[in-house]
Homo-oligomer: A and B are copies of this chain.
Amino acid sequence: MSSISVAIVDPQTPGNVGTIARGMKNFGLSELLLVNPPELDPDGEAYGFAGHAREDVLPNAREVTFDHLVENYHTVGTTAVTNEDARKHVRYPFVTPAELADTLRDVDTDTCLVFGREDVGLTNEEMAQLDQVCSIPASADYPVMNLGQAATVVMYELRELTVESTQHPDGIDRADEAEIEGLYDQFDALLGSINHPEEKRAKTGRLFRRLVGRAHPTDREARTLRGVFRRASEFASPPDDR
């Protein structure tokens, strides 16, 4: 059974530990490992920033050594600063978070995502001991992300491997084609009822078909609009036709 854990090395502010714990719970992760953490006061920022993760991820966090990570996990070191130079292997070759998800998808491994200090990240000596390097593509002008934000992006990309079910329904409930065709027919009927110039009707009908076609309407949207057009047609018909 594969697992993905998160380790933070030498975090300097309790708030960031809490923020990362929250992100972990958002994306279905639970094991938080801390190397040389600050004190996490139950009344302090770590718990204050953790949201519902204050109930499980944060109180279950374990303090471990860096060597413990190296010895027990397939470790992935994260960094904004990669080598351009293929002759140095401390931070190269690296994968992006999306590529990391691809490489882990079919592998049976206990993986640990390792995040470093707020200011200097992971040292070269630490990176050299980790198995894989992961780097988030960001603006060349300023690629260095806040620790909590960077961790969240990596966990977000790995969500397929860790989130059993999301809060979203299983896809948008697109209307049946017949319902949508009925909407087009009703629109054409409306064009007739309002005496839209005969020679323009087909073209206007196509315009409406293209607009709706791009939007993939739900059943509710298609039926509601169809009802509106039907009623508009009735109102538009001359009184003696009613």
| Bound Cα distance A226, B211 (Å) | 60
Question: Does B23 contact A149, Cβ atoms closer than 8 Å?
Answer: yes
* Residues of A within 8 A of B (CB-CB), count: 53
Question: Does B165 contact A140, Cβ atoms closer than 8 Å?
Answer: yes
A residues in contact (CB < 8 Å) with B: 19, 22-23, 25-28, 49, 51-53, 80-82, 84, 86-87, 89, 92-94, 96, 135-146, 148-149, 152-153, 156, 159, 163-169, 172-173, 218-221
CB proximity of A52 to chain B, nearest CB, Å: 5
CB proximity of A163 to chain B, nearest CB, Å: 5
Known contacts A19-B146, A146-B49, A167-B80; is A138 also within 8 Å of B220 by CB?
no
Chain B neighbourhood of A23, CB < 8 A: 145-146, 149
Known contacts A86-B219, A87-B220, A148-B148; is A166 also within 8 Å of B142 by CB?
no
The residue in chain B whose Cβ has the minimal distance to the Cβ of A55 is B142
| Bound Cα distance A94, B172 (Å) | 8
> What are 17 contact pairs spanning A and B, CB under 8 A?
A22-B145, A25-B139, A25-B142, A53-B142, A82-B169, A86-B173, A92-B218, A135-B168, A137-B166, A138-B163, A138-B166, A139-B163, A139-B167, A140-B163, A140-B165, A143-B166, A143-B167
Known contacts A153-B152, A166-B137; is A142 also within 8 Å of B93 by CB?
no
Chain B neighbourhood of A219, CB < 8 A: 86
| Bound Cα distance A96, B26 (Å) | 15
Question: Does A140 contact B167, Cβ atoms closer than 8 Å?
Answer: yes
Known contacts A93-B218, A137-B159, A153-B156; is A146 also within 8 Å of B51 by CB?
yes
Question: Does B26 contact A139, Cβ atoms closer than 8 Å?
Answer: yes
Known: A26-B149, A82-B167. 4 other contacts (CB 8 A): A22-B149, A25-B141, A146-B148, A149-B152
The residue in chain B whose Cβ has the minimal distance to the Cβ of A96 is B168
